[in-house]
Amino acid sequence: MLLAIDVGNTHTVLGLFEGARLVDHWRIATRPERTTDELGVLLYQLFSARGPLEPGQDEISAAILSSVVPPATDTLVQMVQRYFNVRCKVVGPGLKTGMPILYENPREVGADRVVNAVAGYERFQCGLIIVDLGTATTFDVVTPAGEYLGGAICPGIGISSQALFVHAARLPRVEFRRPSRVIGRTTESSIQSGLVFGYVGLVDGLVNRMKAEAGFECKVVATGGLAPLIAQESETIEHVDEMLTLEGLRLLHERNR
């Protein structure tokens, strides 16, 4: 089995693949201060909860990791080596992606953005705009020839909500959910309207500008934990795939066997 690990700023998502099939997946908080042994015990507990698979039983024969949190990367790589006796591939320079990067400095592109682009192009084989609604909201454009063109980076919905609560003394922290109307009649519903419909407007506005500038047809794919909520209100998002990054990691593992 293949263990795929996607380390984000807020959450780390782990996926277990048997061939091309995603057997199971988990989402845990990203905490760079965790030690190798703490992570090993945590994975042992997660795996034990799902059934017979246990670390150290040679069930996991390969691992691959993408990370945007450098302090967490080495710890995870060491954990995989110690608890599974497997050398973990890390997405970065030296790993074959099969996708030309047209960024002025290709090393600046986040690993998660490249992984998403690879997975999206493999699935759709056409021009793409991939919207990843995570800690940051990222937009990535892939050409019809399968080249990573570039994109945009915005503060994520969670960051915006937290900033509003911290910097506006009289505004409360609210649950992130769709309000019943755009024009809020309470402070809570007004904030929810701004967050949900404001981000829908941001997504649709940037996507439309990117389509006009790119000059080629693009499918629009959303991923990330908040993708389903934003997608149901969006006029531009056509597909939602919350497991896009894990699938991209699986593909990169296959390309670097």
- How much is the pLDDT for 225? 84
Residue ranges of domains in the chain, CATH in brackets: 2-90 (3.30.420.40), 106-249 (3.30.420.40)
Q: What percent of the chain has pLDDT over 90?
A: 83
- How much is the pLDDT for 167? 87
To the query of whether residue 132 is one of the catalytic residues in this protein, the response is no
pLDDT band at residue 57, thresholds of 50, 70 and 90? very low
- How much is the pLDDT for 39? 96
Q: Which residue type sits at 178?
A: R
Q: Which residue type sits at 121?
A: Y
- How much is the pLDDT for 177? 87
pLDDT, greater one: 83 or 56: 83
pLDDT tens digit sequence for 130-162: 999 988 999 999 999 999 999 999 999 888 888
Name the strand (E) or helix (H) holding 49.
helix 36-50
- How much is the pLDDT for 176? 84
CA distance 242 to 255: 22
In this structure, what are the phi and psi dihedrals at residue 131, rounded to the nearest 5 degrees?
-105, 115
> Could you give the strand order of the β-sheet that contains 136-142, starting from the edge strand earlier in sequence?
148-155, 136-142, 128-133, 219-223, 239-240
pLDDT band at residue 226, thresholds of 50, 70 and 90? confident
Mean pLDDT of all residues in 110-120: 96
The pTM of the full predicted model, rounded to 2 decimals, is 0.91
CA distances (Å), origin 59, targets 18, 54, 243, 248: 10, 8, 22, 21
- How much is the pLDDT for 52? 55
pLDDT band at residue 56, thresholds of 50, 70 and 90? very low
Of the residues 6, 37, 58, 112, only one is catalytic, namely: 112
pLDDT, greater one: 177 or 214: 214
pLDDT tens digit sequence for 199-224: 999 999 999 999 999 999 999 999 99
